[in-house]
Structure 1
Amino acid sequence: MSRFDRRDFLRTATAGAVLAPMAGLLLSSAGAEAAPATPLPGSAKGGAKAAATFRWLGNSGWRVDVGSSTFLVDPYVTRFDTGLSSGAFNPVTPLTVDTKTIRRHVGTPKTILVTHSHWDHFNDVPYIATSTEARVVGTTTTCNLALAFGVKDGLLSPVKGGEVLDFGDHVVEVVESLHSRNANYSMLFPGELASRPKRRPKNISELPEGDTLAFQVTVKGGPSVFFMGGSDFVERNLAGLAPDVAMIPITSSSSTYDYVPRLLRALSNPRVVVPVHWDNFEVALKNPPQADEKSKKSLAEFVATVRRVSPGTRVVTPEYLTPYTFG
């Protein structure tokens, strides 16, 4: 297969420096020489709400610890090579799971939020769910794939968008969303699964997109955070969300009109934007994140656009597994 720009297939991969935090944004970095994670406003010692700590798992993946509980968003830490970065992409790359790396980084989650079912979002989800009894929240396609991998039906929560789920110390609002489009106005591995596959999927092409969701998570006593897994959106579906923090994938192409300005306006100009889905997710989860030159340029353009259209918003480019708190 001839070499191609992997940004035409998925979203972009870029790198950049962490910009200075704004007033009211509390950051901590265990990997760098920084202060410990700082409690959020409204939390206190002796029984009140504990701080929510956010750790980037690469790509659009997150581990969030709220008090004594943990939830995950699109956890993919196996990060196997498909040839996507080198230009020798193999669409039938076998699915593999790095159980050791997963156990090292994801903790014991109670919930896994899955935006869509492509391998770089879903691959590790079945192992995590079966080994920890975590609940999987995702589309019908996501849930049917999970069944094929042996996840118990009782651990699956199919959603469409519009659901508001109370998990005790945080609330999850499910938002119907869109996957990004490549330069040909298409996407890799489209399609949905209306029923459980007859056999367990064996390669990445057997994990279709299956519709895309976004999630707004509001930590009780803490921030509201908007998580996206695809760099497109339904503008009308974002009305009234107004999150404090938005985890936004860098766009893969110019196919989506006015992506950043429209998105920031729709989200009422969040105080903090964290760009995601910019790293090379086919290499080990090790700092500093790797990215190609074209992707670095894309991130720089993203940051410049945020500064121009929403000057009150700060952009924080995360590093892997680094604890951040927002408040």
Structure 2
Amino acid sequence: MLDKRPYDRRRFLRDAAVGTAAVSTAGLVAGASAAPAQAAPVAAAGPRRSGAVSFRWWGTSGWRIDIGDRTVLVDPYLSRYDTGLFTGGFNENTPLTVDTAVVDRLVERAENILVTHTHWDHFNDVPHIAGRTGARVVGTLSAYHLGLAYGLPSGQLAPVRGGEVLDFGAYTVEVVSSLHSRNGSWSMAFPGVRVSRPPRPEKISDLPEGDTLAYQIRVDGGPSVFFMGASDFAERNLAGLAPDVAMVASAATTSTADYVPRLMAALDYPRVVVPVHWDNFETPLTNPPTVAPNDRKRLDDLIAAVRRVSPRSRVLVPEYHTAYHF
């Protein structure tokens, strides 16, 4: 299939640079289709070196990004406890708990924590990590008020709305106003926002969606990488981002029309697409990731759709903890 899209100068320069990206194929999930020969990624994941940039997937939409000796986290949910969501007995009153042994072992430091939204599978471990490491929590006003409810100081909480471009020297973080995915009833679990400091949350339903953000990290001398935490978006808000790499949430349902074609076009057809939020996040972080049958189909459908509408994109299905260098 030939790509007949016009090739402007910005795309040509970006594609030439990203064409040298090193992407590990160690994380390809068994059963997923192989990448087209002309788009085969090059394996190169090794020990982290001073000044290097690595990306490690922590399941769901969670990431650890090491930029030299500085660490940024996105939606770090590591406790992964059972709510019945994947077994047909979902309990919205499941108590919020933190598996400190797992979290503390994996997170020895963090500078910034980027929160896409405040559902438990994105926010659950954030207050503990921020309290332990002193990391700044970047998120919606709901994330700000929930952080206060957990006892974090206001100076450690950075409320954003979308449109901000935050400069941290070696990298910038662009905040993008986004949308949460829809369930089969065109609704969502636990909608709502926190407009003031609530009591300390005790159960998963105490953590509402709280509005949704996406983020783009641009590393000085390195890649620009887009992070989603849910499978919906506003096309106008993505205009001009043109990331080298896009961490794309697997569609929860078919409620969002033309999800992949619109997303790929809005992101200017990224050179590398990494599906996220397709694993069973109530199982341990051990490889290969556990995938429910319905989620396996959604993952396969996402991969097929990306390859159909953006054939020049490399698709990388990640494994847990593996260091990827783009």
TM-score by length of 2: 0.88
Cα separation, 2, equivalents of 1:27 and 1:176: 34
Instruction: Say if 1:15 and 1:289, in contact at 8 Å, map to a contact too.
Output: no
Matches within 5 A, 1:111-122: 111-122=112-123
State the shift of 1:299 in Å.
1.0
Task: Describe the superposition over 1:40-95 as per-residue Cα deviations: whole angstroms up to 9, x where unpaired.
Answer: xxxxx8xxxx2210000000000000011000000000001000011111001000
1:129 partner SS: helix
Equivalent positions of 1:192-211 (< 5 A) are 192-197=193-198, 199-211=199-211
SS at match of 2:110: coil
Amino acid at match of 2:148: L
Q: Distance in 2 between matches of 1:93 and 1:37?
A: 39
Q: 1: distance between equivalents of 2:306 and 2:58? A: 23
Gaps of 5+ in 2: 1-28
Q: Letter of the aligned partner of 2:250 in structure 1? A: I
Residue of structure 1 equivalent to 2:261: 261
Distance in 1, Cα, partners of 2:77 & 2:44: 23
Aligned to 1:249: 249
Say whether 1:271 aligns with 2:268: no
- The code of the aligned residue for 2:291 comes to A
1:32 equivalent in structure 2: none
Deviating more after overlay: 288-297 vs 270-279? 288-297
1:86 aligns with 2:83: no
Q: Which residue of 1 aligns with 2:288?
A: 288
SS at match of 1:215: strand
- Partners of 1:75 and 1:149 lie apart in 2 by 16
Q: Report the Cα offset of residue 221 of structure 1.
A: 0.5
* Aligned counterpart, 1:101: 102
SS in 2 for 1:233: coil
Alpha-carbon distance between aligned partners in 2 of 1:61 and 1:83, rounded to the nearest angstrom: 21
Q: What SS does structure 2 have at the residue aligned with 1:146?
A: helix
Distance in 1 (alpha carbons) for counterparts of 2:101 and 2:48: 30
Inter-partner Cα distance in structure 2 for 1:317 and 1:112: 23
Q: Over aligned residues, Cα RMSD in angstroms?
A: 1.8
Q: Which residue is 1:163 aligned to?
A: 164
Give the counterpart letter for 1:77 in structure 2: L
Q: Report the Cα distance in structure 1 between the residues aligned to 2:58 and 2:123, rounded to whole angstroms.
A: 13
Is 1:68 the counterpart of 2:79 in the alignment? no
Contact 1:82-1:282 within 8 A present in 2 as well: yes
Please report how far the alpha carbon of residue 281 of structure 1 lies from its aligned counterpart in structure 2 after TM superposition.
0.2
CA distance in 2, matches of 1:24, 1:239: 28
Give the TM-score normalised by the residue count of structure 1.
Answer: 0.87
Structure 1 ranges of 4+ moved more than 3 A: 14-29
- The letter of the residue matching 1:276 is V
User: 1:247 deviation in Å?
Assistant: 0.2
Task: State the shift of 1:106 in Å.
Answer: 2.3
CA contact (8 A) 2:60 2:276 kept: yes
Q: Within 2, Cα distance between the matches of 1:90 and 1:234?
A: 31
**Letter in structure 1 aligned against 2:325:** T
Which SS does the other structure have where 1:213 is aligned? strand
Q: Which moved more, 1:292-301 or 1:85-94?
A: 292-301
C-alpha change, 1:25 and 1:277, in structure 2 (3 Å) is: same
| Aligned residue runs from structure 1 range 145-164, under 5 A | 145-164=146-165
- Give the match's secondary structure for 2:285: coil
Q: Which residue does the alignment assign to 1:6?
A: none
Letter in 1 for 2:204: I
Instruction: Give 2:297's aligned amino acid.
Output: K
Matches within 5 A, 1:33-48: 36=46
Which structure is higher in RCO with an 8 Å CA cutoff and minimum separation 6?
Answer: 1
Partner of 2:174: 173
Structure 1 distance, partners of 2:219, 2:170, is 6
Separation (CA, whole Å) in 2 of partners of 1:151 and 1:261: 40
Structure 2 residue 297 is matched with structure 1 residue 297: yes
Please name the residue that 1:10 is paired with: none
In structure 2, distance between residues paired with 1:170 and 1:279: 29
Amino acid in the other structure paired with 1:217:
I
Q: Deviations over 1:275-300 (max 9, x none)?
A: 00000000111111001112111111
